[in-house]
Amino acid sequence: MSASASGSSAPPPPAVVVVGASLGGLRTATTLRSLGFEGRITLVGDEPHLPYDRPPLSKEVLTGEKEPADAFFRTPEFFEEQGIGLRLGSPAVGIDAGARTIRLGNGEELEYGAAVIATGARARTLPGAEGIPRVHVMRTLDDAAAIRSSLEDARRLVVVGAGFIGSEVAASARRRGVEVVVLEAADQPLAAAVGREVGKRCAELHGLYGAELRRGAGVAGVREMPGGGLAVELSDGGEVGCNAVVVGIGVIPNVEWLEGSGVETDLGAVVCDRYLRTSLPDVYAVGDLASWDNPRFGRRMRVEHWTNTVEQAVAAARNILNVSRGDDPSPYEGVPYFWSDQYGHRLQLVGLASEDVVFVDDPPGEPALLALYRNGDRLGGAFAIDRVGPLMKMRGLLMRGAGFDEALEFASAL
Amino acid sequence: MAAVEIDHAVCIVSGMCASVAPDIFEVADDNSEVIVLQPNLPDELVDDANNAAVCCPVEAITVHPG
């Protein structure tokens, strides 16, 4: 099927410029093509690398089960075949909405009929510790390669932050036989992400597999030692010696390049409507930096999960195509979902966590669990360790707005 | 008739497919694999299968058009 098949007088399909060559940008571009978009597509990325997948980086790439090169999504030939132009290694530095152009750091200007902002987020660094050798963050392909190199001869690793990324890095290092100390500033890890009770259960995995978790351990800085080691200085005056540090204390959306472009941002996120449209005409945003109005939950949210990015990329591509054909866009009503693999266990959250939680499956003496979060009289979300099938059934219930009692009964019978 | 298959060497049993298309995919009780309930797709399930393929984190699902 052809977008311009209706007649030879139809205008050429407009060019789409996708800024950000990671998961969201790539999937927007490939979805446009698979849906039949025939105009020019250009994918802009600040890193020199072809688009790559991040989930394996903190897991199989660190353990050595996969090579960094295994993370690439597609070959250069794929982009040629698909007619997707690549501009890698030069970041976008601005949008001129009047001229409908996107300016790159190397001076190039790309005209767009529609544009997609998919510049994602970068890892938050530890103030004062930037630039110290063997002090890492875990976000990019280069980060993973550097951490892996550090782990090869490290006796002890300190992980700053017991969130999901930090915990995955800790688990991968343990798999390699490296001693691990995880420093968490809060008294209970993951409380905001999954609630205090579930967070406690996740945190217990560290001890079970020989990593030491210290709660309430704020980090003041990192010092290089004369012998080549590192000393992580704690807020309470203590110190932890190690050979390498990985900092996992969250991410910052990459929105600075939009300053002055007229794209509305709020609290560091790009503000989108329910169709993922930004405040500029025909400019959409997807992924970690997009704060959109989710009709399913009746509230604005920003989600940093892999599947949300994929689903938003598909939704944005569909809307670009529909609007270009004179059709109405469709709202994006995704249900947040993520998974994390740690110490051989599969952790999953679907929906929204809260402190109002019921454990429906919790066999004694093992990490496995299935927990349901209540949201008024509705099911608000679910969390599982090693209960993939049941958790995914809960996702189905969430998608259709099931009541909490119904979900509880259903889950108890699984 | 359209058909769907899973590359089990690539599949990480994320379970996304079983959630997006529960009539086609099911996670085994021991979480060890995804079972394809309907390898041959009736027309009304083709969209579900395509959505599952898109949402698969490791792109292990292939839908063959009929």
pLDDT for B14-66, tens place per residue? Answer: 898 998 899 999 999 888 999 999 999 999 999 999 989 988 988 899 999 98
Which is more confident, A404 or B29?
A404
Parent domain of B43: 2-64
Nearest to A390 by CA among B22, B54, B60, B59: B22
Nearest to A120 by CA among A386, A305, A249: A305
Judge if A220 and A133 occupy the same domain.
Answer: yes
Q: Is residue A368 part of a domain?
A: yes
- The answer to whether the beta carbons of residues A181 and A212 sit under 8 Å apart is yes
- The answer to whether the beta carbons of residues A391 and A361 sit under 8 Å apart is no
From the CA of A275, how many Å to the nearest CA of chain B? 19
Final residue before a domain boundary, out of A216, A233, A249: A249
Q: Is residue A399 part of a domain?
A: yes
CA distance A132 to A144: 16
Tell whether A396 is within 8 A of chain B (Cβ). Answer: yes
Judge if A352 and A304 occupy the same domain.
Answer: no
Q: Do A388 and B16 touch (CB under 8 A)?
A: no
Q: Is residue A170 part of a domain?
A: yes
- Chain A CB contacts of B63 below 8 Å: none
Asked whether the predicted pLDDT for residue A3 surpasses 80, the reply is no
Judge if A117 and A132 occupy the same domain.
Answer: no
Q: Is residue A1 part of a domain?
A: no
Tell whether A298 is within 8 A of chain B (Cβ). Answer: no
Q: Give the CATH number of the domain where residue A152 resides.
A: 3.50.50.60
Final residue before a domain boundary, out of A294, A324, A354: A324
- Reported confidence tier of residue A8, pLDDT bands at 50, 70, 90: very low
Of all helices (H) and strands (E), which one includes residue A300? strand A299-301
- Reported confidence tier of residue A7, pLDDT bands at 50, 70, 90: very low
Nearest residue of chain A to residue B32 (CA atoms): A388
Judge if A284 and A317 occupy the same domain.
Answer: yes
Tell whether A401 is within 8 A of chain B (Cβ). Answer: no
Final residue before a domain boundary, out of A225, A249, A273: A249
CA distance A385 to A400: 23
Q: Do B55 and A307 touch (CB under 8 A)?
A: yes
From the CA of A383, how many Å to the nearest CA of chain B? 14
Judge if A157 and A232 occupy the same domain.
Answer: yes
Q: Which of B31, B58, B63 to mutate to test the interface with A (most CBs of A within 10 A)?
A: B31
Nearest residue of chain B to residue A314 (CA atoms): B54
Judge if A129 and A243 occupy the same domain.
Answer: yes
Asked whether the predicted pLDDT for residue A190 surpasses 60, the reply is yes
Q: How many separate domains does chain A show? A: 3
Residues A310-334 have pLDDT tens digits of 999 999 999 999 999 999 999 999 9
pTM for the whole thing? 0.94
Parent domain of A357: 344-412
- Chain B CB contacts of A341 below 8 Å: 12
Q: Is residue A329 part of a domain?
A: no
- Chain A CB contacts of B55 below 8 Å: 307, 310-311
pLDDT of residue A12: 60
Mean pLDDT of A274-301: 97
Mean pLDDT of A48-61: 97
Judge if A306 and A377 occupy the same domain.
Answer: no
Residues A84-122 have pLDDT tens digits of 999 999 999 999 999 999 999 999 999 999 999 999 999
pLDDT of residue B29: 87
Judge if A26 and A113 occupy the same domain.
Answer: yes
Q: Do B15 and A392 touch (CB under 8 A)?
A: yes
Residues A329-376 have pLDDT tens digits of 999 999 999 999 999 999 999 999 999 999 999 999 999 999 999 999
Give every CB contact of residue A35 below 8 A, 6+ residues apart in sequence: A317, A318, A321
Q: Give the CATH number of the domain where residue B56 resides.
A: 3.30.70.20
- A117-151: b (≥16 Cβ within 10 Å) or e: bbbbbebeebeebeeeebbbbbbbbebbbbbbebb
From the CA of B56, how many Å to the nearest CA of chain A? 8
pLDDT of residue A249: 97
The whole-chain average pLDDT of chain A stands at 95
Interface of A with B in 299-328 (CB under 8 A): 306-307, 310-311, 314
- Chain B CB contacts of A393 below 8 Å: 18-19, 22
Q: Is residue A336 part of a domain?
A: no
Give every CB contact of residue A85 below 8 A, 6+ residues apart in sequence: A40, A41, A42, A43, A79
Judge if A89 and A188 occupy the same domain.
Answer: no
Structure tokens at A179: 């001693």
Nearest by CB: B19 against A55, A341, A396 = A396
Mean pLDDT of A261-268: 96
Q: Do B26 and A389 touch (CB under 8 A)?
A: yes
Q: Is residue A203 part of a domain?
A: yes
One-letter amino acid at A340 equals: S
One-letter amino acid at B26 equals: E
Judge if A117 and A153 occupy the same domain.
Answer: no
Q: Do A388 and B19 touch (CB under 8 A)?
A: no
Judge if A36 and A92 occupy the same domain.
Answer: yes
Q: How many separate domains does chain B show? A: 1
3-state secondary structure of A220: strand
Q: Do B27 and A392 touch (CB under 8 A)?
A: yes
Identify each DSSP E strand in A118-238 by its residue range.
121-123, 135-137, 156-160, 179-183, 212-214, 219-224, 230-234
Judge if A265 and A244 occupy the same domain.
Answer: no
Q: Is residue A134 part of a domain?
A: yes
| pLDDT over 70, % of chain A | 97
pLDDT of residue A1: 41
